[in-house]
Amino acid sequence: MPCLDSDKVKQQLVKKLGCSEQTGRDHYWYILQDTDGKIISRTKISLGPKHEIGPKLASMMARQIGLVTAANLAGMVDCSKSKEECLEVIRSHSN
């Protein structure tokens, strides 16, 4: 799997999945909530300039947010997976 651009990942977490972004001490936090405000999942990206997210980190982020695999995360970022497809994967693994 090729590296992912951190800016594109951040953008798609907010725009496509509807995650809220919170700035911590050394990370941006992306929090996905259901319609009742219950937290479904969350992940984080390091503060700082744009950088590449390698396969190992992409895999960890995919598990944290509920997309399960780095390929699903990459599909969300490159728009080969729709919002509905991504949310379906997350819902099926959140229980």
pLDDT for 95:
63
The pLDDT tens digits of the residues spanning 21-78 come to 999 999 999 999 988 999 999 999 999 899 999 999 999 999 999 999 999 999 999 9
Give the three-class secondary structure for 65.
Answer: helix
Burial class (CB in 10 A: 0-12, 13-18, 19+), 62: buried
pLDDT, tens digit, 9 for 90 and up, residues 60-74: 999 999 999 999 999
Distance (Å, whole) CA 39 – CA 49? 28
Residue 87: per-residue pLDDT? 92
Question: What pLDDT, on a 0 to 100 scale, did the predictor assign at position 84?
Answer: 93
pTM: predicted TM-score of the whole model, two decimal places: 0.91
